[in-house]
Structure 1
Amino acid sequence: MPTRLLDTLLVLAVGLLAWQGVHWLAPDAVTSPAGTVARAAEMLASPRFWPHAGETAWAFALSLVFAIGGGLAIGLPLGLHRFSAEVGEPILVSLYSLPKITLYPVILLVFGLGLSAKVAFGTIHGLVPVAIFAMNGVLALPPVYARAARALRLSRWRTLAAVLAPAAVPEIVTGVRIGFSVTLLGVFIGEMFSSQRGLGFLLMNAIGLHDVPTMLAIILMVGAFAVTANAALLALEHRLHHRPA
């Protein structure tokens, strides 16, 4: 059995034991792993659960498309000009360091309640990491790529689309992996604060009712999805970074 798989199983076992231990110490505050899984299975079997899951999935998919598309549209052109990148990167980092929750009242005023606000909130979380990694991916490429494009007499935008962007794919995938996680977080937070549908809405209802099994079941399902998707993206990232030159 590979060492990485053994390490993963060991971490999982330790986490489950710690979770069970917390349940024994505070049974009213934390349900057991078995109880949480049972509640998650019960929710998955309920027809009322899936419209909420579908709402979250649709909002997340739209947010991810806008975050990746917008991030590439910003980051790749900045990577073409080192001076523009030197000016743009501190601005992007400053925007990313701004607590996004402070922008939520503005988003509600602009987009109103509902799907559009959740998509906007998810997008602003994921756009900047994708832009920064795309920009740095182009900047870090060896100069031979640009020289080859000039030898072929490619235009600047043709060089970006046909030469530099494909060569920067490993760094772009890294940005997408990070953007994926924070976009999901943004959509989830958006649903918690102003939505009448979605998993975040169900979580807020459970918090209001002090329904601990439902709270932990939702967190478990969202966490399992996020960890699985992140592991797949991490494997792809590792493969791209170690592909033959």
Structure 2
Amino acid sequence: MHGKTDTLLVIVALVALWQVLHWIVGSVALTSPADTLARAVELLGSATFWPHVAETGVALLYSLLLAVLGGLTIGIALGINRLAGEVAEPILVSLYSLPKITLYPVILLAFGLGLSAKVAFGTIHGIIPVIIFTMNAVRTIPPVMLRSARVMRLSPPQLVSTIILPAALPELVSGLRVGFSLTLLGVLIGEMFASQRGLGYLVMNAIGGHDVRTMMAVVLILATTAVLISAGLLHIDRRMHRRAS
């Protein structure tokens, strides 16, 4: 109950700050919360809005699938091979801190315009956090469990399914939560610069047409959806860690 009250207070404070900023800068730069909400309701009721939602949703789904599967595979391999993991970790951290927008010309040359470029850009945003979380999760598995697996001569698939995944699951969920947010960011950036459809395209198109109302409404829809999904993943994450402790 206390946590819900704190969340409500934060929301009220953010809306109040938003309203104050609107009074200061005016509607030319920032629409009010009420006006933005009204425009968001208009968009949600428009038939032309949902194809853009579907486009972003498909790109996000493919990107998440590739980021999670690729991140798990590479992270487990690096976690089991500690020497390779120690060599790869600083490289991954350096790549993680690199502004991904600098890679966008390479992505466009390799994949062209359209869905494939957005998926690639979303994947490179999300895969590295999943790799790092997975690698560190595998490292925390007690060595006796891995030695027992060798004694029982478990095959690599059996080792992963019976020991590594169950033991590392809480950290994997943490990696998925971070990976989701960054993958969504990557997809939206991809849509902003090289797409004719999608929510990122709508934001960029609104900026180009100086349609602040639409821009703010789309951002509000995106932010609300992302926060709700992240909150759900955070709830699962905390439950996993409580069970593991």
TM range (shorter): over 0.9
Contact 1:114/1:194 (<8 A) preserved: yes
Q: Name the CA distance, whole Å, in 2 between partners of 1:90 and 1:244.
A: 28
Partner of 2:110: 110
Gaps of 5+ in 1: none
Displacement of 1:157 in angstroms is 4.4
One-letter identity of the residue aligned with 1:27: G
Partner of 2:7: 8
Displacement of 1:151 in angstroms is 3.6
Partner of 1:150: 150
Q: Name the CA distance, whole Å, in 2 between partners of 1:202 and 1:176.
A: 27
Contact 1:76/1:165 (<8 A) preserved: no
Partner of 1:222: 222
SS in 2 for 1:242: helix
**What are the Cα deviations for residues 10-66 of structure 1, in whole angstroms up to 9, with x where unaligned?**
001111111111111122211111110100000111111011111011001100000
Partner of 2:163: 163
Number of aligned residue pairs:
244
Compute the RMSD of aligned alpha carbons.
1.1
Contact 1:145/1:164 (<8 A) preserved: no
Contact 2:85/2:135 (<8 A) preserved: yes
SS in 1 for 2:195: coil
TM-score, with structure 1 as normaliser: 0.96
Matched, 1:20 2:16: no
Q: Judging changes above 3 Å, is the alpha-carbon distance between structure 1 residues 91 and 157 closer, same or farther for their aligned structure 2 residues?
A: farther
Partner of 1:197: 197
Partner of 1:38: 38
Gaps of 5+ in 2: none
SS in 1 for 2:243: coil
Q: Judging changes above 3 Å, is the alpha-carbon distance between structure 1 residues 181 and 133 closer, same or farther for their aligned structure 2 residues?
A: same
SS in 2 for 1:197: coil
Partner of 2:80: 80
Matched, 1:212 2:212: yes
Partner of 1:99: 99
Q: Name the CA distance, whole Å, in 2 between partners of 1:183 and 1:127.
A: 8
Misfit runs of 4+, over 6 Å: none
Displacement of 1:244 in angstroms is 5.1
Q: Name the CA distance, whole Å, in 1 between partners of 2:5 and 2:199.
A: 33
Contact 1:60/1:119 (<8 A) preserved: yes
**What are the Cα deviations for residues 176-215 of structure 1, in whole angstroms up to 9, with x where unaligned?**
1000000000000000001000111111110011111101
Partner of 2:130: 130
Q: Judging changes above 3 Å, is the alpha-carbon distance between structure 1 residues 73 and 240 closer, same or farther for their aligned structure 2 residues?
A: same
Displacement of 1:156 in angstroms is 4.2
Partner of 1:141: 141
Contact 1:68/1:127 (<8 A) preserved: yes
Q: Name the CA distance, whole Å, in 1 between partners of 2:145 and 2:237.
A: 21
Contact 1:40/1:221 (<8 A) preserved: yes
Q: Name the CA distance, whole Å, in 2 between partners of 1:117 and 1:156.
A: 33
SS in 1 for 2:3: helix
